[in-house]
Amino acid sequence: MKKYLLLSPLFFLPSVSYAENWEISAHGLAGAYFGISETKYENKYPSRFVTRGDATLKIDYKIDNTHKIGVHAPTTLMYRQDDKNRSEGEVRFYPYLQDESQFGTIQIGYTKNAANQLHKGAMDISPLGIDDSNATYFLSNSNWSGGFKSTAYYTPNATTILTDGRAPKITYITPKIAGFKLGASYTVHNANRRGTTSRYVDYETNEDGYTFAAQKEFILSEKSKILTSLGYGVFNETDKEISFGSQYHYASFNTGIGYKKSYIDGTKNPIATQKVNNYLPAYFDNFRESNAYNISAGYNWEKFKTNIAYLFSEAENTRHQNSLYIWSNVYQITDEVELYGILSHLNFKGETKKKDNEGCALIFGVGYRF
């Protein structure tokens, strides 16, 4: 049976059903995408077919009109044709407990940290995204290496704080008060292959992490508003990150910017400046001292939306850096079905010259939102 059948009926459950105080729901996006890629010197996979489905499954018990508790499980099923770095088929399942009331939201389990959840930066309207982008499904980047059982980065791949990824944690986010939201997270073991942290750093299994975040909404008029966010993270005592983001919305126009600074404060767990072994070269954990920023602008014409986004990231100790451009176009056929036309360009630099360090991809797809 073809692996792309991983897009199972799981993603087409009825959106909401009730049984007395129980509420069961599922919402997300399922799609199929075909990309034609071209690199500067060589092209092992000139075209690739990808299917992916993302759904958040929820089972909640409603205690009263303002309080409910339940289990939420973001789930991803995907198939990537001819993927030399990873298994072609993959399943991700991240359950966590959530308590939501007038006093805020508490999450315990495989959830995202507060700084990630409250971050407002550059936007992309396509399934690729500009932060932690899926453009690497079609364009290779040696600075962002995501293998089946390991993850390593030379540079950051986002302006939001992703270091603890989906590692088990507890997160608390306040309700909105005068346009403000505050949040905090604690992670017992911050190294996780779904985050930025390499599984091979010294603090893989015995160090914790904290993140703190704030978000503010400014209503300027009936048609315009500004969203801003701040994030701060501390991992393994010495690794620190600061993030900033802002979005401006006016009628059908929107723009966004984001920035993140990562640095080491102290002498514990320094950057690996020397080769560790045959699999871990010098500066394999160079993302720990780095900068990243992004910017986007978009416009909506009734059923048609267009958006252009740019991400730049670099590490301070080496020549490693990346420039990623994504121009996304979406046409809404119905409330559920949409068509995508995406043009993406990626250019990366490393310590040695790569034969395919620059490339572009033209991607077409169809998605079903439920």
pLDDT mean values, one per 10 residues, the chain (370 residues): 43 56 94 88 74 96 95 95 72 96 97 97 96 90 70 88 93 96 94 70 74 97 97 93 98 98 89 82 88 98 97 93 97 97 94 73 96
User: Which amino acid would we find at residue 298?
Assistant: G
Give the residues across from 252 on adjacent strands: none
C-alpha–C-alpha distance, residues 346 and 324, integer Å: 5
C-alpha to C-alpha distances, 355 to 4, 39, 141, 142, nearest whole angstrom? 31, 9, 11, 11
Distance CA 300, CA 318 (A): 40
Burial 187-208 (b: 16+ CB within 10 A, else e): bebbbbbbbbbbebbebeeebb
In 3D space, the residue among 293, 258, 272 whose CA is nearest the CA of residue 152 turns out to be 272
Task: Report the CATH fold assignment for 95-369.
Answer: Porin (2.40.160)
Per-residue pLDDT, 245: 98
Evaluated on CA atoms 82, 85, 87, 91, the torsion sign reads: negative
> Smallest Cα–Cα separation from 120: which of 255, 253, 29?
255
* Short-list 192, 200, 203, 131, CA closest to 166: 192
How many residues are there in the chain?
370
Query: What 3-state DSSP class applies to 134?
Result: helix
Kind of pairing between the strands at 321-332 and 304-315: antiparallel
**Spatial distance between the Cα atoms of 317 and 262, rounded to a whole number of angstroms:** 12
Q: Are 57 and 72 a contacting pair, CB within 8 Å?
A: yes
Alpha-carbon span 158 to 308, nearest angstrom: 16
Predicted pLDDT at 296: 98
Instruction: Name the maximum alpha-carbon separation found in the chain.
Output: 63
What pLDDT was estimated at residue 210?
A: 95
